Structure 1
């Protein structure tokens, strides 16, 4: 963080939102007392965009009662506005999504009470913690990539029942060898920001879980080699003679099962759903995204982005930490502690 840039941004925010800000980032943001928080994420803050946002808020009679700059970096600026207003969440969320598209920023609305560290964070795996749909990668090697990819996309768009699509895809992978799986696992690209987010959550005492329609084989590899994960629930691969049978082992982890597992883990940990957050990208993640204090659609398909309570589109996965009420000074301190 550049101190001069921070001071300049603080002056700009103070001018536009008429709220006092310190000239340097404090150790921690102000306590949240308003009923709603609106987090602005952008690569570059532009005064006309802030003015347009303020005009929109005035038009809605959503009064800004506090401003905190959570991040001021070349790749990401995060500004949190506390809003004192009565609003209908779903209508407000949709209006802000439409507004953000025209302002070159992301606007994420959440109840003020959810600006806190969760006690349990549940993640989808494929296209959320890793930059791949594993079943598609297996299919490419097996020579059925186009067929499987089309089924996957239809399922993620919500056009096909997940269980039916999963059985169809697995049938196409019959004969794939276990030795080939071991070659693929180290090549899975980790989602940028995922290791930082999970390490920070562990430092905060938050338990983490993978709830995936992918495979335990790869989820366990990630847990053992890359990501600070506590619990894994995913689909098991069925082998015979060192090769996939093309069958499945029930129960399949689909959207309904993800939601059930989230609730089950929370109960086992004696947590209320207000202490849980979920992150995913596909239509089969929507049931769990609807359950917790926050349901964050990450780099999601349009249908999921439109329906999820919160969405992060153009930033790395660790941008979720700003929705937990943390600023960059706190995050860096957590990560420094984790490496000592």
Structure 2
């Protein structure tokens, strides 16, 4: 370092090396002896390698402090840089976002492409934090300098090219507040479509599946498609509904997501174009606060092929979201909707954060965020909750999770 006599206003101390207890305290003991003020700190540990950055005010005899810092680093067996500044820490730009990147795997080329798009629009990456390393790699980037509405479409396009998932959210207090999560059921909370499972008992599974696919792609009005499919179920024994429920498989990570967010005071709702006989039991089993679905007419122990009351369709799902939010007393901006089909679009658009989960292309294109890995608990990473925090909370409750791969 040059010994030019110009008095700096700040010093940036960057310490790197093998982490062990006492490193940070030793460095701050050296800084405290000089009576400096701390303006900013960043510290990370990556594979037992520590990087500590401290921005401090520069004392009059800053060279003596520099020498003391270097002696402390040497005694710790670490490397240090002391850079002189001429001002306080740069204020982070307006237009702040959290960008969550999900990959399985997450390749360096994908991160390079994402970082390039961020730079192209004049934004800056202020901080990077790993949220999970298995079963997917999840990375959270704090971005400043561009509005989320500008950043989102740029990164969505790049994510599709790279085969990864990206969510862009405003960096505001809503991300830390109690929220309402409203989920679709079929092919979202659970694997598969309930109506097709019931149809298997009637021997018309293929016909029902074909109509379901048309509706999910948005090629047929949902209510029309539902009534047509339910009509095919005429004379199926009502006991088939119990058999279907017992055969249902939840989406991987569904219980984890609900369990973790309930600990934090979140509220949950399921809104389905399916049937109350199934959704009511799911809600009770998982501890979900609200549910709304269609009711099958049953006479003399058999399905009549008709639906009782109004159909919960695309518009009905959005209406349910607003009503549940009002009942809880949270603004619609504090809601999260998760769905996969065209009949979820109004609900996704109404929510503060709409997430397309393993969704059809028309839904992915319209949603705020898209998750295309088969783990529903990856939603937790979008909310700033790390895998380590999840496992620590589970362990405290006596819940043991499988060990991660080495």
TM-score by length of 1: 0.86
CA distances 1:132-184 after superposition (whole Å, capped 9, x unpaired)? 11001111221111211111111111111111111111111111111122112
Unaligned runs of 5+ in 2: 1-18, 20-40, 48-91, 400-406
Match of 1:222 among 271, 282, 302: 282
CA distances 1:80-128 after superposition (whole Å, capped 9, x unpaired)? 1111123462x64333222113323212111112433542111111101
1:178 partnered with 2:200: no
Offset of 1:220 from its aligned partner?
2.1
Match of 2:45 among 2, 12, 23: 23
Inter-partner Cα distance in structure 1 for 2:313 and 2:197: 19
Inter-partner Cα distance in structure 2 for 1:191 and 1:329: 21
Unaligned runs of 5+ in 1: 1-6, 8-18, 26-31
Inter-partner Cα distance in structure 1 for 2:396 and 2:291: 25
Inter-partner Cα distance in structure 1 for 2:230 and 2:133: 45
Partner of 2:328: 269
8 A Cα contact 2:194 2:244, kept in partner: no
1:164 partnered with 2:164: no
Partner of 1:122: 182
1:142 partnered with 2:202: yes
Inter-partner Cα distance in structure 1 for 2:46 and 2:379: 22
Q: Determine helix, strand or coil for the equivalent of 2:138.
A: strand
1:70 partnered with 2:142: no
1:290 partnered with 2:349: yes
Offset of 1:236 from its aligned partner?
1.0
8 A Cα contact 2:96 2:147, kept in partner: no
CA distances 1:210-248 after superposition (whole Å, capped 9, x unpaired)? 1111111111222333x2311111111110110001111
Q: Which has the higher contact order (CA 8 A, sep 6+)?
A: 1
Q: Determine helix, strand or coil for the equivalent of 1:69.
A: strand
TM-score by length of 2: 0.73
Structure 1's 315 and 258: CA in aligned 2 closer, same or farther, altered over 3 A?
A: same
8 A Cα contact 1:235 1:253, kept in partner: yes
Partner of 1:152: 212
8 A Cα contact 1:65 1:82, kept in partner: yes
Offset of 1:336 from its aligned partner?
3.3
Q: Determine helix, strand or coil for the equivalent of 2:44.
A: coil
